């Protein structure tokens, strides 16, 4: 079994770049998605855009989670393709090394004091949001045969 990892990026240079600067990355990591399930591979691409307040991270990601089919109740690997978009706020001023602290909204994503932007939590949360309400093991599953 693969050990779960994290998806972290060093963005010190991007924070020094002017607003509008971008970076693109390919991601392919194994992370924890669903509690109680084995870690899952998440792959795709992410781009970062320098904003006036921080970094806007946008991702197009893919993963598979094990779900129970809503008709036949068999478990199956459900492919998820999903996007996310979140702005990350630095806790440290990049030029003066001064602590600016977390934004007032506690749910905001942050760039830590080492200028590391971690998309693991966003990748996990948005994967869960992408899970269909009534998952089907295959199109047209006819359910439990009596």
Which residues contact Zn ion (rule: CB under 5 A)?
69, 71-72, 137, 141
Pick 37 or 75: Cβ nearer Zn ion: 75
Closer residue to Zn ion (CB): 45 or 71: 71
Q: Which residue, 69 or 117, has its beta carbon nearer to Zn ion?
A: 69
* CB contact at 8 A, 42 and 65: no
For residue 141, the 8-state DSSP code is -
Tell me how far apart the 2 most distant CA atoms of the chain are, in Å. 70
Q: Give the shortest CB-70-to-Zn ion separation in angstroms.
A: 8
Minimum distance between the CB of residue 98 and Zn ion, rounded to whole angstroms? Answer: 56
User: Does residue 88 contact residue 71 with C-beta atoms inside 8 Å?
Assistant: no
Q: Which is nearer to Zn ion, 21 or 141 (CB)?
A: 141
- What is the β-pairing status of strands 109-111 and 75-90? parallel
Closest separation in Å from C-beta 139 to Zn ion: 10
Q: Which is nearer to Zn ion, 105 or 142 (CB)?
A: 142
Enumerate residues 6+ apart whose C-beta is below 8 A from 117. 8, 9, 11, 48, 55, 57, 88, 111
Least Å distance, CB 133 to Zn ion, is 15
Nearest distance from C-beta of residue 39 to Zn ion, angstroms? 25
Paired tokens of 87? 């702005």
Q: How far is CA 97 from CA 27, 47, 61, 105, in A?
A: 29, 25, 33, 22
């Amino acid at each position: 079994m693969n050990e779960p990892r994290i998806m972290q990026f060093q963005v010190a240079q991007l924070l020094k770049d002017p607003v509008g600067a971008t970076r693109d990355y390919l991601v392919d990591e194994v992370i924890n998605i669903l509690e109680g399930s084995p870690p899952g591979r998440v792959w795709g691409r992410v781009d970062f855009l320098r904003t006036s307040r921080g970094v806007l991270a946008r991702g197009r990601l893919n993963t598979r989670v094990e779900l129970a089919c809503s008709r036949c109740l068999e478990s199956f690997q459900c492919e998820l393709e999903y996007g996310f978009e979140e702005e990350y706020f630095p806790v440290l001023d990049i030029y003066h090394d001064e602590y600016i602290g977390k934004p007032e909204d506690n749910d905001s994503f942050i760039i830590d004091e080492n200028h590391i932007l971690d998309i693991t939590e966003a990748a996990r949360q948005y994967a869960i949001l992408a899970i269909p309400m009534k998952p089907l093991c295959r199109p047209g599953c006819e359910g439990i045969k009596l």
